[in-house]
Chain A
Amino acid sequence: QQPVQSPQAVILREGEDAVINCSSSKALYSVHWYRQKHGEAPVFLMILLKGGEQKGHEKISASFNEKKQQSSLYLTASQLSYSGTYFCGTAGGSYIPTFGRGTSLIVHP
């Protein structure tokens, strides 16, 4: 079953912050975040494993709460290059992710 992402779309100005949420109805062992620019392949951002960890990647970080079966992606001081569609993938014991429908992020100058 696909995880649910919210919001479906976000429009920002450069320098603003954004949060993308991902929730699942199933028990999770890992959460995978990818970004896809228009017409390109998805590109890996990070994996978070069971244990409630947080990770950071420049100004993009994420948290994973396996008890709530949720993950959030935080984009701080957004840049034009952050524009794209963000996918979360949630996985059970196989660690093979099932992806949500994505959140479209548009950053304007």
Chain B
Amino acid sequence: DAGVIQSPRHEVTEMGQEVTLRCKPISGHNSLFWYRQTMMRGLELLIYFNNNVPIDDSGMPEDRFSAKMPNASFSTLKIQPSEPRDSAVYFCASSPRQVNEAFFGQGTRLTVV
């Protein structure tokens, strides 16, 4: 298996623009996580899906952030409008079941200028 695939790997955008990050989890995994990593806060959980259903989105910073999982093989994280403080590395991870290791994608480095 190719592992968790994220795209794009790098994104530079201007403040106010919409940004969409994409994730393809490992086939057969039914849990999917979106994390944000910054120097200040470390690794923060934004949202968790189980069987394509959002279970816990309490980590989503504000209404500008939204996430979807239309099917078992694809998820998106959207920021609209983007702000400079959204600059971070965003990781997607998947897991075969809830209590198990999570496999992380290579991340998307987002820079909002």
Contacts and interface: CB of A to CB of B under 8 A. Distances in A.
Nearest to B91: A41
B70 interface: no
Most chain A beta-carbon neighbours within 10 Å: one of B48, B99, B100: B99
Interface in B18-57: 33, 35, 41-45, 48, 56
Task: Name the prevailing secondary structure of the B interface residues.
Answer: strand
A100 B103 CA distance: 18
Interface residues of A, number: 20
Task: Name the prevailing secondary structure of the A interface residues.
Answer: loop
B101 interface: yes
B99 A95 contact: yes
Contacts of A2: 42
A99 to B, nearest CB: 4
A58 interface: no
Given A41-B91, A96-B56, A101 B101 contact: no
A99 B99 contact: no
A47 B105 CA distance: 19
Contacts of B56: 94, 96
Interface string A22-53: 00000000101000000011111001010000
A87 B43 contact: yes
In order of increasing CB-CB distance, the 5 nearest A-B pairs are A44-B101, A101-B42, A41-B104, A99-B43, A95-B99
Interface of B: 33, 35, 41-45, 48, 56, 91, 98-107
Interface of A: 2, 30, 32, 40-44, 47, 49, 87, 94-102
